[in-house]
Structure 1
Amino acid sequence: MDRNRSMDGASSEWRIVLVGKTTSGISTAGNIILGKAAFECKASPNSITKTCAQESGTVHGKRVIVIDTPGVINNVKCQEYIDCELGLCLFKYAPGPHAFVLVLKLHNETKEDVEAVKKIKDLFGQNFLKYTVVLFTCGDRLDKNETIKEYIENKGQKFLKELVLECGGRVHVIDEDWSEENVSRDKERSNSFQIEQLFASIETIVKNNGGHPFKNKQLQDVSWEIKKEAQQLLLMRQSEIDWKELPEKKLKEEEQQIWKKATEMKGERKSCIVF
């Protein structure tokens, strides 16, 4: 039982997991939500976040724990590692998140964007979208007086329209800058206002799910088994070769092979069933 959940199903503290594609602005979104430089983020073509991390704060009167995660379609870590890390966030932050924030960058969506969203949906399973709100970064790219819902309706491709519909119409936008609000900015386009609206959607998610956090026991358990297997394989491999002397490219290849083998040994994880 979630000890933070009251008798009426409300939760005194929300656990919010941020997910998305590498370079979509996941860590930046976390900083904007919390209103502080909680997570490392910088302009880079490579992924900065390699493991799940949490920071907490009080935002618009609500106590929240925000969990930053490495992006899928990762250019630093192999997909098997990323899948495992995402699955383990359910174990690390038990009894589970109250909501997922699916972070996308506001631009013409690519095949990579579609693939990333599909990977995330397949990984977390059938109940994932019931707990999800879509959040776009780079809101400054919207036309003047254009809302994110108008953008989706008028300019979004079928993929985006269907995704937002699957998430119950829960879609929001933030600008790239997480710093203090620009006083000359229109209220409706300010990050403070947008986060307030985001929290209203998360509150709806929490109420719709009776305050119960998201659970996927099979994904959680399999991820833990894969990580243990990978750690054992890594120790064995390190005893065979001088790990520290390996060139970066070779090191990356070795790690990828280890995670692939560990995943194969524990079986494929596709559309894990929620218990």
Structure 2
Amino acid sequence: MFSTVSNLRIVLLGKSVSENSDVGNFILGRAAFDDKAPPDVVERVRGRVKDRHVMLINSPQLLQTNISDHQLTQTARESVYLSDPGPHVIVLVLNPNQCSTEDEERVKKVLGAEQGFQHTMVLTTQESNETNDILQKIIQKCFNRHFSLQRSSSPDDLLQTFEDIVQTNAGRHLVCTEGSQYFTTNQQARTRCECDTTVCDVSCDK
């Protein structure tokens, strides 16, 4: 069933400032993010991609395994706050040659229940030397949504994946509930969206 939003909100989660920045700049088609920014700084940049308003939140430290639970909670909530009322899509920026069990556990901790994974895709920034079983498990958890960023890659292809995620979730976005350190969908009262006959959460927006 078709659903669309006028302002697409995307959170980039990763471990490397430079890799996250490269992905954000690739999506926007310009040098919008500073690849030398401090890792604990969450950046927000707006732009237009194919006549679509896009908001990118760059959170390069959220998948780092050495940050405390308090930092994790604060950063997750800041990412949601900057993408108010919440992101439609989460992009896990991963290096296939450096994906460990600790990374897998951190992803589970950040995304929480299946609701978080329903809005998430994996983007790898380098070619893998060999199959990484941990990476494959994370991709499967994200409903096999995976984009390999190559020199020949087109932002249009990645945007289509974003659109597919939005449609699959009927335009709903993620939130970070009070006291929680992970993303979830808003399961409060449901309302009927004006765009069509789809019944969505109140977090459905256009």
Q: Could you state the TM-score of these two structures normalised by the residue count of structure 1?
A: 0.58
Q: Distance in 1 between matches of 2:72 and 2:117?
A: 20
Aligned residues: 185
Matched, 1:15 2:9: yes
**Inter-partner Cα distance in structure 1 for 2:185 and 2:88:** 18
Higher strand share: 2
Note if 1:159 corresponds to 2:134.
Answer: yes
User: Where does structure 1 differ by over 3 angstroms across 4 or more consecutive aligned residues?
Assistant: 269-275
> Does the 8 Å CA contact 2:3/2:171 hold for their aligned counterparts?
yes
Question: 1:88 is aligned with what amino acid?
Answer: E
Deviation at 1:196, TM superposition (A): 1.7
Q: Counterparts of 1:116 and 1:59 in 2: how far apart (Å)?
A: 30
The answer to whether the aligner puts 1:30 opposite 2:24 as a matched pair is yes
- The structure richer in helix per residue is 1
Match of 1:169 in 2: 144
Alpha carbons 2:97, 2:128 under 8 Å: kept: no
> Partner residue of 1:52?
42
- Inter-CA distance 51–23: structure 2 relative to 1 (3 Å threshold): closer
- Structure 1 residues 162 and 142, CA, compared in 2 at 3 Å: closer, same or farther? closer
Which of 1 and 2 has greater Rg? 1
Distance (Å, rounded) in 1 between the aligned partners of 2:90 and 2:108? 15
Quote the residue 1:198 is aligned against.
Answer: 158
Distance 1:31 1:61 in 2: 17
In the superposition, relative to structure 1, how do residues 38 and 49 fare at CA in structure 2: closer, same or farther (>3 Å)? farther
Pair 1:82–1:28, CA change in 2 (3 A):
farther
Distance in 2 (alpha carbons) for counterparts of 1:35 and 1:203: 18
Contiguous gaps of at least 5 residues in structure 1: 1-7, 144-154, 176-188, 224-268
Across the aligned residues of Structure 1 and Structure 2, the Cα RMSD in angstroms comes to 2.8
**Residues 24-103 of structure 1 correspond to what in structure 2 (within 5 A)?**
25-42=19-36, 48-71=38-61, 72-73=63-64, 78-103=68-93
Single out whichever of 109-118 and 52-61 deviates more from structure 2: 109-118
